[in-house]
Structure 1
Amino acid sequence: MTILQTRKNWLWLFLMLVLLTNMMLYSTSFGHTIIPQESNGVVLGSLIDFIIIAPLVFMLAKKKFSIKLMIGLMAAGCVLARLIIPQTMLAPYSSFTAFGIAAEIIIVAFEMLVISSFILYLPKIIKSTRTSDMPLLFAFPQAVDQHIKRRPMLHVLCSELLMFYYALFSWRQQAPAGYTLHKKTSYIAFQFMMIHAIVIETLGIHWWLHSKYPIVSVILLALNIYSVLFFLADLQAMRLNPAQIRNGTLYVSLGLMKRAKIPLSQITQMTTNVSEEKLPKNIAQFIVKDFEAGKPSVILHCDKPVAITLPFGIEKHYHQIAIKVDDAPAFIEELKTGV
């Protein structure tokens, strides 16, 4: 583990400690015994933790720094403080939390405006998606970016719509020609095993939990339903999106978890005889996780960094991409022809 990764883990641990200690302070009998009768100083310290310390630690851990993000996190901290700290103790500082709630309402209203613009442009987005020569998994996000200014909320919404589409409306589609990544692995068996486990857990625990903690049971049920839909969608996205070479571009995806479009003109070298199974972290991997580690069929070396899109539109850039397909010789041969 690198020093940077260790530092990041410590930051996340510190953030969890800050939040948990404050929750224990106001939500447990032990916490109530150590709060002095004059609690203004304690409450002020908690507000500093929620509004200043926690946002700063979060940005340090994520390595993302912006005024907009800081304001959003501070507003969220005010809302969290209002939920955790008893109102009688929080009364002297109610103006702080009121400001945070107002800021949070403004942020949510702005995001709702963005979503409204997405709905307004949806017919054009669908038309652009249908006329595109790219696979749907790539065409839909590009159509969204084409018609609406790029915003994080839109990437999240785009990911969710793709998830619901593949989970509910793609079952009659036939897989196009291409190079599959999953047929010689236990991927499908693993997906169904996870779905089976979630269904059994839901049936076994939900009714018992509902009689004791109804709100928790409803939240757990919603999460379980979402999880089942996600596993089904990921399976369908994997099946319907094999690696394809179209118009001088390689389209490769790992279900809903990862995708990339790689112009063949950017490929400067291909390594086909890969001996090691554990690859360095600076290599993007399109290798289906199996019970045994698999060696990539080829590692592509690119002269420019290639954008790898993760869930919710998060992008990372790599110069090297490792790919494992079921029919490696044919895939490598077509790559060599295109390059």
Structure 2
Amino acid sequence: MMVIEKGRPIWISLLIMVLLSNIMLYNTQLGVSVLPAETKGVVFGSLLDLILVMPLLFMLSKRKFSIKTAILTAATGCILARILIPNDILKPFMAVTWAGIAIEVIVIAFELLLIVMFVRYLPRILSSVKKSLLPMNFAFPAAVDRYVKKNPLVQVLCSELFMFYYAVFAWKKKVPEGISLHKNTSYMAFMLMIIHGIVLETLGLHWWLHEKSMILSIVLLVLNIYSVFFFLAEMNAVRLNPIHLTEDAMYISFGISKRAKILYEDIEMIIEEHEELEKKLQADTLSFIAREFEDGKPQMILKLKRPVKASLLMGFEKEYTKIAIRCDQPTELKMALHRGMLTK
């Protein structure tokens, strides 16, 4: 496993090389010129590359091995074969590529069914969220998981709905009580500066690019508008979701980009030594520190007994063994955490 993890750049490089070599072979003058008169062997080799080698390299680069991933990536390879290899030399292997397309159609149909289920159960989900005592960014995903099977597409959809809600509809919502993460920082000013920069860049760049390439200017315009929505949502979500403490856990989030539930019984110790807090945060540390014009340092780091799963953007999840926190009421938070640890 260590060899696989350290070799990730190699797997990605090989994946790109396999894809590019097959693109060049069938879609450039040089590639076409070296094709033999009898192309069956070459096409068969390309199919092996796209259906077997590329999925294997993809899974090695992701360090994720499963039958589902293998089938989906192999099916994607079949579709790539239909796109890259000319039909006249692909004819002997058409049945193989059609099988891949059939698998992709089934998968897409299943994903669409999940979205339909999500929309169908949305009233119940919203009702469950209103009844919950937890912050919305914890209550909503929990309600979705209760009614709809957990799926990456559904998680992405929820993430986008979250962003739209906080960016547009939640500005008049009352800020709940709790320990905030941003009030004693220049976080809001920093975010407004970023949004201001994006707006100015959009106006200037779109005007200039519109004459050069209308498609590129529209794509960049859409991306910049999305970025503005994202940063507005991030600001509002930070404001409306202070740290939430219950009898058995701490619910902590920063905007829509990360959140985690930390059970008091999972906290091994609270690191408060100045020397430790000044060190660069490690990869296994999840940071809840507001971005400012200057880099902020944590006021405490929670060392956990076992890895805790945190939810990140687009529904992605990752495990962490330490939690770095900088908040507006550090003494109050430390006392609450110590009380929780003593009772567990």
In the alignment, structure 1 segments of 5+ residues that lack a partner are: none
Q: Does 1:88 align with 2:88?
A: yes
Paired with 1:92 and 1:205, the residues of 2 have a C-alpha distance of 49
Paired with 2:165 and 2:108, the residues of 1 have a C-alpha distance of 25
Shift in Å, 1:187 = 3.3
Identity of aligned residues (%): 48
Shift in Å, 1:147 = 1.9
3-state SS of 1:309 partner? strand
Q: Which residue of 1 aligns with 2:328?
A: 326
- Taking only aligned residues, the RMSD between alpha carbons, in angstroms, comes to 2.6
Letter of the 1:335 counterpart: L
Whether the 8 Å contact between 1:274 and 1:298 is mirrored in structure 2 is no
Letter of the 1:177 counterpart: E
Structure 1 pair 274–36 and aligned structure 2 pair: CA distance change class (3 A): farther
Letter of the 2:240 counterpart: L
Shift in Å, 1:217 = 4.4
Whether the 8 Å contact between 2:247 and 2:340 is mirrored in structure 1 is no
Q: Which residue of 1 aligns with 2:235?
A: 235
Structure 1 pair 118–272 and aligned structure 2 pair: CA distance change class (3 A): same
Structure 1 pair 86–215 and aligned structure 2 pair: CA distance change class (3 A): farther
3-state SS of 1:140 partner? helix
Higher mean displacement: 30-39 or 13-22: 30-39
Q: Which residue of 2 aligns with 1:173?
A: 173
Letter of the 2:121 counterpart: Y
Letter of the 1:323 counterpart: I
Structure 1 pair 209–5 and aligned structure 2 pair: CA distance change class (3 A): farther
Shift in Å, 1:308 = 1.1
Structure 1 pair 5–67 and aligned structure 2 pair: CA distance change class (3 A): closer
Shift in Å, 1:240 = 1.4
Q: Which residue of 2 aligns with 1:285?
A: 287
Q: Deviation per CA, 1:13-65, whole angstroms, max 9, x where unpaired?
A: 22222223333344444444444454444333332222111111111111211
Paired with 1:97 and 1:32, the residues of 2 have a C-alpha distance of 21
3-state SS of 2:324 partner? strand
Q: Which residue of 2 aligns with 1:300?
A: 302
Paired with 2:329 and 2:102, the residues of 1 have a C-alpha distance of 57
Paired with 2:214 and 2:92, the residues of 1 have a C-alpha distance of 34
Alignment map for 1:38-117 (pairs within 5 Å): 38-117=38-117
Whether the 8 Å contact between 1:277 and 1:294 is mirrored in structure 2 is no
Q: Deviation per CA, 1:275-314, whole angstroms, max 9, x where unpaired?
A: 2331222332222344544321111233343221112322
Q: Does 1:158 align with 2:158?
A: yes
Shift in Å, 1:332 = 1.8
Task: Tell me the TM-score normalized by structure 2.
Answer: 0.87
Q: Which residue of 2 aligns with 1:309?
A: 311
Q: Deviation per CA, 1:51-95, whole angstroms, max 9, x where unpaired?
A: 111111111111211111111111112222322333334333322
Higher mean displacement: 8-17 or 98-107: 8-17
Letter of the 1:56 counterpart: L
In the alignment, structure 2 segments of 5+ residues that lack a partner are: none
Structure 1 pair 318–40 and aligned structure 2 pair: CA distance change class (3 A): same
Whether the 8 Å contact between 1:188 and 1:235 is mirrored in structure 2 is yes
Task: Tell me the TM-score normalized by structure 1.
Answer: 0.88
Higher mean displacement: 317-326 or 194-203: 194-203
Q: Which residue of 1 aligns with 2:192?
A: 192
3-state SS of 1:78 partner? helix
Structure 1 pair 22–123 and aligned structure 2 pair: CA distance change class (3 A): same
Whether the 8 Å contact between 1:277 and 1:293 is mirrored in structure 2 is no
Structure 1 pair 44–185 and aligned structure 2 pair: CA distance change class (3 A): farther
Structure 1 pair 19–222 and aligned structure 2 pair: CA distance change class (3 A): farther
3-state SS of 2:7 partner? helix
Structure 1 pair 29–178 and aligned structure 2 pair: CA distance change class (3 A): farther
Structure 1 pair 52–213 and aligned structure 2 pair: CA distance change class (3 A): farther
Structure 1 pair 210–151 and aligned structure 2 pair: CA distance change class (3 A): same
